[in-house]
Amino acid sequence: MVVVGLNHKTAPVAVREQLAIAESDLAEPLAQFRHPTLNELVILSTCNRVEIYMETGDTAACTAACTDFLAAYRGVEPAAFEPHLVYRYDMEAVRHLYRVSASLDSLVVGEPQILGQVKAAYMAARQAGRTGSVFHQLFDRALGVGKAVRHETGINDNAVSVSYAAVELAKKIFESLQSRTAMVLGAGETSELAARHLVRQGVTSIFVANRTHERAVKLAHALQGKAIAWEHVEEHLAHTDIVVSSTAAPEPVVDKTMVQRVMRARRQQPMFFIDIAVPRDIAPEVNSVENVFLYDIDDLEHVIAANRREREREALVAEEIVWREMRQFDQWLEAQDAVPTIVALRQRAEHIRQEELEKALAKLGPLDARQRRALDALTSGIVNKLLHTPTVNLKRATGQGRLRDYVQLVRHLFALDA
**Total residue length of the chain:** 418
Please state, in angstroms and as integers, the Cα–Cα distance from residue 147 to each residue in 102, 214, 255, 316, 323, following that order: 8, 43, 46, 16, 15
DSSP letters of 358-416? HHHHHHH----HHHHHHHHHHHHHHHHHHHHHHHHHHHHTTTTT-HHHHHHHHHHHTTT
> Nearest to residue 285, comparing CAs of 324, 247, 262, 258?
258
Distant-in-sequence, close-in-space partners of 415: CB < 8 Å, separation ≥ 6 = none
Q: Are the CB atoms for 293 and 273 separated by under 8 Å? A: yes
Q: Is the dihedral of CA 208, 210, 212, 215 positive or negative?
A: negative
| Strand ranges inside 98-240, DSSP E | 181-185, 205-209, 226-228
Secondary structure of residue 35 in the 3-state scheme: coil
- From the list 47, 64, 229, 392, the catalytic residue is 47
Question: Using CA atoms, how far apart are residues 399 and 44, in angstroms rounded to an integer?
Answer: 30
The residues near 295 (Cβ < 8 Å, ≥ 6 apart) are 166, 169, 272, 273, 274, 275
Report cis status (omega within 30 of 0) of the bond before 279.
yes
- Measure the CA–CA gap between 272 and 279, rounded to whole angstroms: 19
CB distance 6 to 12 below 8 Å: no
Count of Cβ atoms closer than 10 Å to residue 197 Cβ: 22
In whole angstroms, give the CA distance from residue 36 to residue 55. 12
Give me the helices (H) in 39-112, please: 59-74, 78-81, 90-101
Is-catalytic flag, 47?
Answer: yes
CA distance 384 to 349: 9
Catalytic residues: 47
